[in-house]
């Protein structure tokens, strides 16, 4: 293969990150949360709202571009876009932003997500019947085929596929719990995390109530969180004049497959393999010039812990059915071969719909993470079907 | 019996399962379900089945289709016993199921009339129909040869 990499590869860099506190009751609107996170990210970047000419978010985000522009004083937006696929689209904001910057459509792009997953009008993980046949980009493709059967929650959609995965490969709940123990160990030392100073044992995990048997205990679930995060992306050339260590977007890709739905993704033939992530990895580790061995630290979307195992396999860090052993060997830990979700992940830190993982990857590559991995230079961030490889190496995979 | 208990009992007597949402693309499926028939969309151009229904065949792009009766038999591809979060329309735990029909399409559905300890991936299933609000019905599944006397639960 070795075709030329996509022309945006390595042309854009993350130069600023910002966030609010993560809580269960923010006590203020998503718009205010976004204003706080975006201005913090711009300040971190040494830029002002007047520099911003691009905005990217998720289709499901409630903060309208117009409201954000008026609220923080952006003068003129030349580029805006939104990524579908719910949380599975999280990392697509980096692909959009990098493409916009590399093509010249925008100079400074802000990617943001603001959410009141816990205190909002409906809890994000709650059981809701749908008023329309599809969810209108709110997180699942075809509510009409799930709703009359009580399959109403993200946990229920994940569980249907996860049970098949466990059956196919002989995975037990304890195997999944070991991943959660590691996530919670990271969270326990992260002051921004929900799980700060609250480590969890495998016994705690096993004793927590069932959400969906036989795969999802309460402690397998991410935290419904209130908060906002933002990321500032500009050209790598301009990044050199800014105060922070530029974190280049060396690769970015997405892969939405035939017959694949969003969360209610039950119709492809073999559900024990996350084939969207297989396709994503083929793109990320294909023409961009990166190898899996280049990855010093990984952030992998862990809305529910079983999908962390499934993605480790689909992304090619271990073989089908081998994630349980890969985890039991300690590979996700700080001294493992693939330190993973070092902020505690969405399960341990909080659920800003995946985008907080990009902030953690950026901190790792700046060398400022609370659970800093030594010499971390290249990071993978993925969410099911979207992902990116971030790097502080000068070009491509080698310094 | 208190009034509250009586009210609760009365509520239980009527189906509370929400009715399916009909569109021009899916009405044939749910209208058949009301009549106790399980059907699928079969492309008039290339003969392939598809589910959930869509207006165009992704293989040959035909907009024409037949409504094909299905045997109602299949096997359990996967399941999940749902405890939380709960919605008032359903009795918990809810047993969610993915059923691979013998004609080659998959449905999201429920298992009925089977003890939790008896659920096995691959078990043979047959369709029955459960009533919903507004007088509609949806296909759910029970083990093949389930005791007729036990009936749908």
The total number of structural domains in chain A stands at: 1
* Contact yes or no for A317/A338 (Cβ under 8 A): yes
Residue B47 is part of which domain span?
A: 21-143
Q: Judge whether B113 lies within some domain.
A: yes
d(CA A238, CA A246): 10
* Contact yes or no for B111/B92 (Cβ under 8 A): no
Rounded average pLDDT over A176-191: 98
Rounded average pLDDT over B35-49: 97
- The answer, for B7 touching chain A at a CB cutoff of 8 Å, is no
Q: Judge whether A383 lies within some domain.
A: yes
Map tokens 């992998």 to a residue.
Answer: A300
Residue A346 is part of which domain span?
A: 12-121+222-391
The pLDDT assigned to A142 comes to 74
The pLDDT assigned to A143 comes to 78
d(CA B2, CA A393): 72
Q: What is the predicted ipTM?
A: 0.94
Under the banding of pLDDT at 50, 70 and 90, the label for residue B148 is: low
Backbone angles phi, psi at A100, to 5 degrees: -65, -45
A267 is a catalytic site residue: no
Q: Judge whether B10 lies within some domain.
A: no
Question: Model confidence over A68-101: pLDDT tens digits?
Answer: 999 999 999 999 999 999 999 999 999 999 999 9
Under the banding of pLDDT at 50, 70 and 90, the label for residue A122 is: confident
Q: Which residues of A touch B (CB under 8 A)?
A: 123, 125-130, 132-133, 142-153, 155-156, 159-164, 167, 209-216, 218, 258, 264, 266-267, 271
Question: Model confidence over A209-254: pLDDT tens digits?
Answer: 999 999 999 999 998 999 999 999 999 999 999 999 999 999 999 9
Q: Judge whether B13 lies within some domain.
A: no
Quickly list DSSP for A190-225: -TTSTTTT----HHHHHHSPEEEETTEEGGGBPPB-
Residue B149 has pLDDT above 50, yes or no: no
Query: Which residue does chain B place closest to A270, by CA atoms?
Result: B77
A159 to B82: CB separation less than 8 angstroms, yes or no: yes
Q: Judge whether B87 lies within some domain.
A: yes
B147: closest CA of chain A, how far (Å): 23
Pairing of the two strands B65-69 and A210-213: unpaired
Under the banding of pLDDT at 50, 70 and 90, the label for residue A399 is: very low
d(CA B80, CA A398): 46
Residue B9 has pLDDT above 90, yes or no: no
Question: Model confidence over B89-138: pLDDT tens digits?
Answer: 999 999 999 999 999 999 999 999 999 999 999 999 999 999 999 999 99
| Sheet strands (E) in A302-383 | 378-383
Q: Provide CB contacts within 8 A for B142, sequence distance 6+.
A: B111, B112, B113, B114, B125, B126, B128, B152
The pLDDT assigned to A394 comes to 78
Rounded average pLDDT over A171-175: 98
**Alpha-helix residue ranges (DSSP H) falling in chain B:** 3-13, 27-34
Question: Model confidence over A192-208: pLDDT tens digits?
Answer: 999 999 999 999 999 99
d(CA B24, CA B69): 19
Q: Judge whether B29 lies within some domain.
A: yes
Residue B6 has pLDDT above 80, yes or no: no
**Residue A148 is nearest to which of B17, B52, B80, comparing CB atoms?**
B17
Residue A154 has pLDDT above 80, yes or no: yes
pTM as predicted = 0.94
A301 is a catalytic site residue: yes
Q: Judge whether B55 lies within some domain.
A: yes
Q: Judge whether B3 lies within some domain.
A: no
For residue B82, which residues of chain A lie inside 8 Å, CB to CB? 150-151, 153, 155-156, 159, 211-212
Under the banding of pLDDT at 50, 70 and 90, the label for residue B151 is: very low
The pLDDT assigned to A397 comes to 45
Question: Model confidence over A256-276: pLDDT tens digits?
Answer: 999 998 888 999 999 999 999
Residue A1 has pLDDT above 60, yes or no: no
Q: What is the CATH classification number for the domain harbouring A313?
A: 3.40.47.10
Q: Judge whether B11 lies within some domain.
A: no
B96 to A151: CB separation less than 8 angstroms, yes or no: yes
The total number of structural domains in chain B stands at: 1
Show the tokens assigned to A242: 């800014």
In chain A, count H helices and then E strands: 12, 11
């Amino acid at each position: 293969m070795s075709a030329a990499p996509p022309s945006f590869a390595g042309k854009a860099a993350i130069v600023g990150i910002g966030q609010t506190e993560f809580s269960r009751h923010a006590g203020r609107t998503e718009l205010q949360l976004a204003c706080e996170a975006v201005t913090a990210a711009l300040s971190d970047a040494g830029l002002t709202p007047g520099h911003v000419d691009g905005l990217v978010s998720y289709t499901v985000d409630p903060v309208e571009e117009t409201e954000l522009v008026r609220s923080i004083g952006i003068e003129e937006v030349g580029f805006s876009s939104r990524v579908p696929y719910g949380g599975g689209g999280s990392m697509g904001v980096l692909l959009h932003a990098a493409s916009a910057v590399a093509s010249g459509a925008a100079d400074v792009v802000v990617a943001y997500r603001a959410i009141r997953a816990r205190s909002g009008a409906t809890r994000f993980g709650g059981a809701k019947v749908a008023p329309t046949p599809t969810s209108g980009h709110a997180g699942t493709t075809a509510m009409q085929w799930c709703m009359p059967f009580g399959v109403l929650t993200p946990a229920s959609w994940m569980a249907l596929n996860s049970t098949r995965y466990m059956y196919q490969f002989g995975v037990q709940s304890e195997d999944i719990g070991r991943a959660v123990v590691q996530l919670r160990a990271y969270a326990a030392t992260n002051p921004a995390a929900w799980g700060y100073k609250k480590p969890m044992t495998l016994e705690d995990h096993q004793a927590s109530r069932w959400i969906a048997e036989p795969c999802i205990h309460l402690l397998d679930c991410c935290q419904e969180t209130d908060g906002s995060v933002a990321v500032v992306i500009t050209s790598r050339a301009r990044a050199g004049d800014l105060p922070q260590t530029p974190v280049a977007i060396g690769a970015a890709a997405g892969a939405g497959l035939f017959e694949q739905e969003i969360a209610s993704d039950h119709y492809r033939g073999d559900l024990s393999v996350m084939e969207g992530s297989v396709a994503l990895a083929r793109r990320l580790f294909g023409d961009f010039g990166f190898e899996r061995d280049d990855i010093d630290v990984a952030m992998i979307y862990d809305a529910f812990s079983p999908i962390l195992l499934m993605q480790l396999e689909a992304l090619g860090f271990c073989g089908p059915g081998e994630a349980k052993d890969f985890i039991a060997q300690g590979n996700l830990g700080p001294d493992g071969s693939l330190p993973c979700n070092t902020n505690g992940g969405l399960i341990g830190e909080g659920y800003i719909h995946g985008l907080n993982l990009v902030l953690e990857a950026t901190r790792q590559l700046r060398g400022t993470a609370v659970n800093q991995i030594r010499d971390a230079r290249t990071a993978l961030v993925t969410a099911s079907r979207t992902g990116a490889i971030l790097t502080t190496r000068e070009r491509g995979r080698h310094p | 019996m208190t009034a509250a208990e009586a009210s609760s009992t009365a509520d239980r007597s009527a189906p509370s399962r929400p009715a399916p949402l009909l569109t021009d693309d899916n009405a044939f499926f749910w209208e058949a379900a009301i009549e106790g028939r399980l059907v699928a969309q079969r492309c008039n151009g290339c003969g392939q089945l598809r589910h959930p229904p869509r207006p165009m065949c992704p293989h040959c792009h035909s907009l024409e289709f037949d409504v094909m009766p299905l045997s109602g038999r299949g096997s359990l591809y996967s399941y999940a016993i749902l405890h939380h979060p709960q919605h008032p329309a359903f009795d918990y735990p809810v047993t969610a199921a993915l059923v691979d029909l013998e004609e080659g399409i998959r449905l999201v559905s429920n298992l009925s009339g089977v003890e939790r300890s008896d659920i096995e991936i691959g078990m043979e299933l047959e369709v029955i129909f459960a009533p919903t609000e507004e007088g509609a019905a949806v296909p759910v599944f029970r083990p093949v040869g389930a005791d007729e006397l036990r009936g749908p639960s």
